[in-house]
Amino acid sequence: MIHPLLVGLLLLIFVGGLAALLYRGLLMSLAVRLLASRLSNAAKRHRLGIHFGHHEGGWIRLTLQADLRKVLSQVLGYPAEGAAYSRFGGFNLSRLYSDFMNPDSPYYQCWLGAYAVFDSESRKAFGFDAQGELVHEAALAVLEADQRLVFRSAGCSHRFPNGNAVRLKGQLEAEVREENGLSWWCIWGEADTWSAYHKGPSPGGGLRSRVYGVVPHSATHDVDDYHPLRYRGEFWMRYFPEYGATCAKFYICPSYDDQRGQKVTPQQELIVECQQLLKTIAFSRD
């Protein structure tokens, strides 16, 4: 007769292995984000806290952190130190791949995030000129840097003729808005790029490529791998002299044509949710 404790142990091992198999996408994503949160970045070096507050909806709760120093410097053409903290659609409809990679989810390819670009000895108040006037293209530069990191993780090689991953559509608009006694520049507009969606492991592999999960080849979605899309959203930007940094919070949501030629646009409920969640993002000295 098999001892009951041995039966229990074998059952526990079986259940644990089955859970790890079924939830492997979620577990791997958590591991990647935990590792990223332990690495140094500009916000940590400058003791700047970026807080997302209490969140509703289907977003991940463990924020994805990235150091922007290398990629942002490449975009700007001069040394810059920055960090980006972002959230995307979580593993709600599938435990293998996130809603960020799921065209059936309203959170598909949506981002909610914040960033900070810090002063240097030669350049201060990123995003503003010598007279303190807003430089609209600063938001686009950070979006370009962020998208290059996304493409690197997703294995997307698409670029526009100028080598960029993002191309502005029309003109950016901006106005000053008040929030909790502070004045922010709110910038909005549209930009063309490509989706990070693809089936199978990302070309090149690597641990960071697992952060969004892996869409199986058997998945039936009405989109092509790395299909074109157009982002629209809001960037709220403000220079904090006490932090020596320009801080911003943002959301972007995509529109695109599916394989049937039908236009897919963000749900209005999601846009309202994003606008409400922006109010919960805060910056502080840690």
- pLDDT tens, residue by residue, 77-113: 999 999 999 999 999 878 899 999 999 999 999 999 9
> Structure tokens of 39?
């690495």
CB 170 within 8 A of CB 136: no
- Torsion sign over Cα 15, 21, 25, 29: positive
Give the residue numbers spanning the domain of 167: 4-285
The total domain count for the chain is: 1
Task: Write the pLDDT tens digit of every residue in 154-181.
Answer: 999 999 999 999 999 999 999 999 999 9
pLDDT at 10: 34
Task: Write the pLDDT tens digit of every residue in 35-47.
Answer: 999 999 999 999 9
CB 115 within 8 A of CB 84: yes
